[in-house]
Chains A and B, each alone.
Chain A
Amino acid sequence: MNSKYNEALKELLYKIADDQLIIGHRNSEWTGLGPIIEEDIAFSSIAQDKIGQSRHFYELLHKLGEKNPDIIAFTRSEKDFRCCHLVEYPIGEYDFSLMRNFLFNNSEHIRFQMLCGSSCKELSGLAKKYTGEIKYHIMHADTWVNQLGNADVEANSRMQSALNECWNLALGIFEEGPYLEILREEKIFSGEEELKNSWLEVIIPKLEKASLKIPDTNTWEPSLGGRYGYHTEYLKPLLDEMCEVFRLDPEAEW
């Protein structure tokens, strides 16, 4: 395959895997802190899924000539990460983390459904596998958003504030990368705009059912830059913590 094809594919894989690794790490921060034990386990399990899924993307990147998965995950600097801003934010209160999962997981599910038809067979194989797993992540977030949105005034207003807070960050998921044309031409992925439109079609009815409203379109300002290595102030401290042990001795045998 030609080098432009490879570059486009790698850029896509990095973006997807970095989102998963970072939101996985954030979800793992709920371990021991969940408001009830079932939520503690849910966030921890989802974290394990996401980080495990990211690993197989890093393996695929390794096959395409990148370094090995641990090196990719734990030694890159902030500017080499391609994750969106939504996943970088600290866990905040439970309402924020839950709403973030709702918005992110629904987009991820649609992304992988789109990738099931990708011309890159290894990517479509992973996508088919992951859509089945992510169904459980959606089930979790959808159920709680619906229950809390329709509970008492406090619960509803907290979920609405969390939605408002997450919204522009979530729109940043769909920042188009530099290789859109090649990805389309080669039928690897049909692009972020299409993904965003499908996502809106899916989440708006779910939010309405949960008595929640998306912000007015004239206030939409996607939080951009993540896909090009420009991150929020929260990514670097996260990387410092996540990578601390590995960086002490990258050659260590476990």
Chain B
Amino acid sequence: MVNEMFDKSDILKALQDVKDPEIPTISIVDLGIVTDVTINNGSVSVKLTPTFAGCPALKVMESMVEERIKNMGIENVEVITDFSVQWTTDMITENGLRALKAHGLAPPPRLGNKPVQIELLDKVICPLCGSSDTELKTPFGPTLCRSIHYCKNCLNAFEQFKPVG
């Protein structure tokens, strides 16, 4: 069977081509939303978990994943949205943080065990000039995952991919 010629790492590599429709510089793998890949007798099952429960891009991403894997010549593909692993911004890879910055977004701080508090949203480093002399304008932005800030150094408004723990 030709289908047995691939393993989990091949699937994950292929899924690097699937980008977040709202932030086209970051792949869904680097975003950390692919929580499981299983291969059984040539069938592939992928689990995704949403960044935000109300994310409108979820269905689109499901079909993008299915299409990308089918393009590898794999017929049986199942994509499941699942909450058994809950996404946090700490699941974004280092590569992913760079990709967010490349899109002009301030990356979220690493939370570790820290709770998300309003202080954490203040003094975000400006992705345009690197200054930390910034202030939070509103924790709600153009998409559910972004907050809006203002840089007092370069006098620009900018967005942050907001931390979720």
* Chain A, interface residues (CB within 8 Å), range: 20 to 34
- Knowing A41-B138, A41-B140, A45-B140, say if A135 contacts B53 (CB, 8 Å): no
Report chain B residues within 8 Å CB of A193: none
CA distance A46 to B144 in the complex (A): 9
Task: Determine if B144 and A49 form an interchain contact, defined as CB atoms under 8 angstroms apart.
Answer: yes
CB distance from B80 to the nearest CB of A (A): 11
Which B residues contact A (CB, under 8 angstroms)?
49, 52-56, 82-84, 86-88, 115-116, 118, 137-142, 144, 148, 162, 164-165
Which A residues contact B (CB, under 8 angstroms)?
38, 41-42, 44-46, 48-53, 55-56, 121-122, 125-126, 128-130, 132-133, 135-136, 139-140, 143
Task: Determine if B144 and A125 form an interchain contact, defined as CB atoms under 8 angstroms apart.
Answer: no
Task: Determine if A42 and B140 form an interchain contact, defined as CB atoms under 8 angstroms apart.
Answer: yes
A45 — nearest CB in chain B belongs to which residue? B140
A44 — nearest CB in chain B belongs to which residue? B140
Q: Which of B53, B56, B83 has the most CB of A within 10 A?
A: B53
Task: Determine if B53 and A52 form an interchain contact, defined as CB atoms under 8 angstroms apart.
Answer: yes
Report chain A residues within 8 Å CB of B86: 125, 128-129, 132
Report chain B residues within 8 Å CB of A130: 53
CB distance from B63 to the nearest CB of A (A): 14
CB distance from B135 to the nearest CB of A (A): 13
Task: Determine if A48 and B144 form an interchain contact, defined as CB atoms under 8 angstroms apart.
Answer: yes
B116 — nearest CB in chain A belongs to which residue? A135
B115 — nearest CB in chain A belongs to which residue? A135
